[in-house]
Homo-oligomer: A and B are copies of this chain.
């Protein structure tokens, strides 16, 4: 009975969130929250709110029109395991689900599971590389969280992430590219707290962080100052994409990891939210995939 009561409380809470989300003055749905320097976690230990009302998504719909419907949770499984690719929007029916996932503690819990493992792995290493051991970090949704941006702009609309490859077919609205670019230049994104914890622990262990992002050269300065502001200092280097080179994320990132190895560094770990951060030799001795059901980078 305690569980049922708890469920009712959560259901009520979900309704309050929904009301908050629809009563803004703008015609567009938005999460009216202020998130200065921390992720907006309501209660980290809370059960998963969205599970009380499973939503469904049309699966395979980006290929061949509306097909069988699957639960949003299963859509997320297929996305996070790199089976569903090249999607440019969260399925419409799952916008609220993804919002709840991101804001309700589930996202944070999933990130924690990944980082707990990464920390345990790093602590188990016997470092013999005379200070040449490095750990590669992505930026967006890895070191930095753009949750404040997406909370404001919606979790389901067409997105144009900053590290969108120029060789990809662009179906997203240019407006959002501009908006995200402006947001990135503000250099005010908070740290993803779990990643910052890993970062600090690695430094204490003598493993040097390398920041490797698909953000381009014109955002180097803003990215560097945002990283510093969020607590990421003392990294070995910040590698950004050249401004006008047409290269896909996977090729760019694996190429840069290869350069690190050629320079004598040992990549003991690699963490990112996209599979293009992780796939492509050399991957690093271990890889860690953070959750990101908000957008896809090809």
Contacts and interface: CB of A to CB of B under 8 A. Distances in A.
A11 interface: yes
A277 B51 CA distance: 31
A52 B3 CA distance: 7
Nearest to A58: B116
Contacts of A11: 3-4
Contact of A60 (B60, B82, B117): B117
Contacts of A59: 112-113, 116-117, 120
A262 B288 CA distance: 32
23 contacts: A3-B11, A3-B52, A4-B7, A4-B8, A4-B11, A7-B7, A47-B51, A51-B51, A59-B116, A59-B117, A63-B117, A64-B120, A64-B124, A75-B113, A77-B80, A77-B114, A78-B117, A81-B114, A82-B287, A83-B117, A83-B118, A83-B287, A84-B117
Interface pairs A-B: 6 shortest CB-CB: A60-B120, A74-B113, A59-B116, A81-B289, A51-B51, A63-B120
Interface string A270-298: 00000000010100001111010000000
A284 to B, nearest CB: 12
A19 interface: no
Contacts of A83: 113-114, 117-118, 287-289
A77 B291 contact: yes
Contact of A110 (B4, B8, B74): B74
A119 interface: yes
Nearest to A85: B286
A123 B61 CA distance: 12
A281 B113 CA distance: 28
The copy count of this chain in the complex is 2
Interface string A42-66: 0000011001111000011001100
A112 B63 contact: no
A108 to B, nearest CB: 9
Which of the listed residues A60, A80, A123 has the most CB atoms from chain B within 10 Å of its own CB?
A60
Contacts of A121: 60, 63
A68 interface: yes
A40 interface: no
Contacts of A118: 83
A73 interface: yes
A252 to B, nearest CB: 18
A109 interface: yes
Contacts of A84: 113, 117
